[in-house]
Amino acid sequence: MGATDKFGGITIGSETAFSKTITEADLGFFCAISGDFDPLHVDEAYSATTPFGRRIVHGLAVMALLSAAESEMSRRAIAGGTKLRPVSLGYDRVRFLAPVVIGDSLRATYRIAEIDDASSRTIGECTIVNQSNTLCLVGRHIMKWVS
């Protein structure tokens, strides 16, 4: 079985994306689930005194959008006939490059950059851009394909 068959037709360059506009509710939900109520995220008066000039969204909340793009890649491989099950091993080299604020429309993109047939792993190059095409986040995702 070749790498393409093994991974359900997923090849280097295969790409998925997920888009979402960040709302006040999204910020509140992330504060609740993470316990992170730093004033930079919740206090408008305080945030106005920072270099950002207003509240910003948690970096990890932004990064969480990659989960939707990654899981779409998994669904695509399963639909393509892989007998393996993709499991996330985590993210590497994540960098938050630009702040995200409520009302930003984000696009998370997941592109297969490497396939290691011997170890049954793939590496996804991940990016998130805003409505102005400003790069807000980059990183790499490691996926293990298990039987």
Give the rounded percent of residues in the chain with a pLDDT score beyond 90.
97
Average pLDDT of the residues in 120-138: 98
What single DSSP character describes residue 13? T
Q: Are 86 and 77 in contact (CB under 8 A)?
A: yes
| pTM assigned to the model | 0.93
Query: Which pLDDT tens digit goes with each residue over 90-109?
Result: 999 999 999 999 999 999 99
Query: Which pLDDT tens digit goes with each residue over 59-84?
Result: 999 999 999 999 999 999 999 999 99
103: tokens are: 């009302």
- In this structure, which CATH number among 3.40.50.300, 3.90.1170.40, 3.50.50.60, 3.10.129.10 belongs to the domain 3-22+57-146? 3.10.129.10
Query: Helix or strand or coil: residue 125?
Result: strand
Determine the Cα–Cα distance for residues 42 and 85; give it in Å rounded to an integer.
39
Query: Helix or strand or coil: residue 128?
Result: strand
